[in-house]
A and B are shown apart, each in its own frame.
Chain A
């Protein structure tokens, strides 16, 4: 079961985490799985960097953490998007779109 791992450009992981949390609060494992599924198994989030990223986002106030119970009644730390986080997501997403559009233009050159 090997996946083609794409290397995430710097800072993209933050964007993906914020997006993953738009619908509902999730714990780290769920975020990792969700990203994997939705990207049609292309993206394997480097799990070692997932948690430092989550903690960094929490420190900046874009997500907030709360302890809850998972489906199997285990204690898990759930992360939810804050209002500031939503704003940040919107601006980051727009920036990403502009960046990729620009890169695509250049690649289509000649």
Chain B
């Protein structure tokens, strides 16, 4: 069974890779047969043209035999596909303008798709790099009257204090207010993004800062800054500036 499959594969490979050789051999093989048949009829006393005619008649259609042999090869599907492919490439090369347009369109389409997907993957699909990321939620206030779409009412210190005091649904609550600062050095000036956070900030995320000390509820008024160069899209590696 395996041997048969292997023989089959080798035969088909040869038919594909050395197609012109195989075709030539087929021609030679059938021509030899007809020649022998002609010789036989010559020996039987027919004239050369008669002998040949008889031989061909007996054989039937040589072209049919060739076609059938080709069918038996088992490469028909692949051969036609390759032929179509070659034809398509030739046609495209003959119309460079059109081809350029197609290639450009495909490139733009594929490029745009890749870019958008990469973005979505990193922003939406990848989990946050914290322990138990599915348990971290963000709270905001909604104005029940509608108000300005996209703008939520500000959460005041007092709101936050009330939530923290009364809520039983959360392990830890922290408040967050984005801010920026300017770092100056002898050589350069850099703007760094950061946040004002409440005491439990590091507890909520379950991480420790890269540099400096973590806040404790007691040291709630200290400010922390994000290291600009380490900002990822989910953004919270912190360093003390």
Please report A residues at the B interface, Cβ cutoff 8 Å. 27-29, 32-33, 46-52, 55-56, 58-61, 67, 70, 72, 74-77, 84
Complex formed: what's the CA distance from A35 to B25 in Å?
24
Partner of A51, one of B3, B30, B37: B30
A83 closest partner in B (C-beta): B3
B37 closest partner in A (C-beta): A29
User: Which chain A positions have C-beta within 8 A of B4?
Assistant: 60-61, 84
Complex formed: what's the CA distance from A80 to B7 in Å?
14
| In the assembled complex, B36 has its CB within 8 A of some CB on chain A | yes
User: Which chain A positions have C-beta within 8 A of B171?
Assistant: none
User: Which chain B positions have C-beta within 8 A of A56?
Assistant: 72
Main secondary structure of the interface of A (DSSP, over half): helix
User: Which chain A positions have C-beta within 8 A of B12?
Assistant: 59
If A59-B74, A60-B8 touch, whether A84 touches B3 (CB-CB below 8 Å) is yes
Q: Would you call B60 and A47 a contact (CB within 8 A)?
A: yes
Partner of B33, one of A29, A46, A59, A75: A29
Q: Would you call A55 and B73 a contact (CB within 8 A)?
A: yes
Q: Would you call B28 and A77 a contact (CB within 8 A)?
A: yes
Main secondary structure of the interface of B (DSSP, over half): helix
Q: Would you call B35 and A48 a contact (CB within 8 A)?
A: no
Q: From residue 147 to 202 of chain B, which have CB atoms closer than 8 A to chain A?
A: none
Number of A-B residue pairs with CB-CB distance less than 8 Å in the complex they form: 77
| In the assembled complex, B117 has its CB within 8 A of some CB on chain A | no
If A59-B12, A77-B25, A84-B4 touch, whether A48 touches B64 (CB-CB below 8 Å) is yes
Complex formed: what's the CA distance from A48 to B37 in Å?
13
Q: Would you call A58 and B61 a contact (CB within 8 A)?
A: no
| In the assembled complex, B29 has its CB within 8 A of some CB on chain A | yes
Nearest CB of chain A from residue B45's CB, rounded to whole Å: 11
22 contacts between A and B (CB under 8 A): A28-B29, A28-B32, A29-B32, A29-B33, A33-B40, A47-B60, A48-B59, A51-B30, A51-B65, A55-B69, A56-B72, A59-B8, A59-B11, A59-B72, A59-B74, A60-B7, A60-B8, A61-B6, A61-B11, A67-B25, A74-B32, A74-B35
Complex formed: what's the CA distance from A97 to B96 in Å?
66
Complex formed: what's the CA distance from A1 to B4 in Å?
41
Q: A28-B32, A59-B7, A84-B4 are in contact. List 16 more A-B contacts (CB 8 A).
A: A29-B32, A29-B36, A47-B58, A48-B59, A48-B60, A48-B61, A48-B65, A49-B65, A51-B29, A51-B30, A51-B65, A51-B68, A52-B72, A56-B72, A61-B11, A76-B29
Complex formed: what's the CA distance from A92 to B74 in Å?
23
Nearest CB of chain A from residue B232's CB, rounded to whole Å: 59
Nearest CB of chain A from residue B211's CB, rounded to whole Å: 72
| In the assembled complex, B71 has its CB within 8 A of some CB on chain A | yes
A46 closest partner in B (C-beta): B60
